[in-house]
Amino acid sequence: MVDYLDDIVGQKTAKKFIRTAVSKNNLYNFLLVGPRGVGKRMLGFALAKTLDCPPNSPDFLLITPIPSKIKEKKEKIYEYSQQYLPHNALIEVEDRASILIEQMRNLTERLVHMPGTDAKRVVLILEAERMTDQAANYFLKTLEEPPVDTVFILTSSRPEFLLPTIRSRCQIVPFTYLNAEQIAEVVFDGKDDFLLGSAGEVLALRESGMIDNVMDIFRKAPLSVMSAAFYAGAYERKRVVELYYPLLLLYRLVFYRKLNMVGNTGYDFEIAKKAKRNTMDKTIDTIMLLNQNINLLEKNPNRLLHLFNVLLRLP
pLDDT digits (tens, 9 = 90+) for 258-309: 888 766 677 888 898 999 999 999 999 999 999 988 888 777 778 888 899 9
Confidence at 79, pLDDT banded by 50, 70, 90: confident
Half-sphere exposure (CA, 13 Å, Cβ side) for 264?
2
pTM: 0.81
Q: Of 10-14, 62-66, 180-184, where does mean pLDDT reach its minimum?
A: 180-184
Model confidence over 266-276: pLDDT tens digits? Answer: 788 889 899 99
Angle value at C-alpha 131, between 22 and 106, nearest 5 degrees: 75
3-state SS, residue 17:
helix
Q: Are 257 and 233 in contact (CB under 8 A)?
A: no
Model confidence over 119-177: pLDDT tens digits? Answer: 788 999 999 999 999 999 999 988 888 887 889 999 999 999 999 999 999 999 999 99
Give how far Cα 53 sits from Cα of 28, 214, 225, Å. 16, 44, 57
Confidence at 82, pLDDT banded by 50, 70, 90: confident
Dihedral angle of Cα 253, 256, 260, 266, to the nearest 10 degrees: -20
Q: Are 76 and 44 in contact (CB under 8 A)?
A: no
Mean pLDDT across the chain: 86
One CATH from 3.40.50.300, 3.40.50.2300, 3.90.1640.20, 3.60.40.10 for 5-176: 3.40.50.300
pLDDT average, residue stretch 214-220: 92
Model confidence over 50-75: pLDDT tens digits? Answer: 988 888 888 899 998 888 776 656 66
Distance CA 77, CA 93 (A): 14
3-state SS, residue 123:
strand
Q: Judging by beta carbons within 10 Å of its beta carbon (0-12, 13-18, 19+), is residue 40 exposed, middle or buried?
A: buried
Buried b (16+ CB within 10 A) or exposed e, 189-210: eeebbbebbbbbbbbbbbebeb
The pLDDT, as a whole number, for residue 2 is: 78
Which among 82-96, 232-246, 280-294 has the top mean pLDDT?
280-294
Position 109 pLDDT exceeds 90? no
Listed by start position, the domains of the chain span 5-176, 209-312
Amino acid found at 43: L
Share of the chain above pLDDT 90, in %: 40
The pLDDT, as a whole number, for residue 267 is: 81
Confidence at 93, pLDDT banded by 50, 70, 90: low
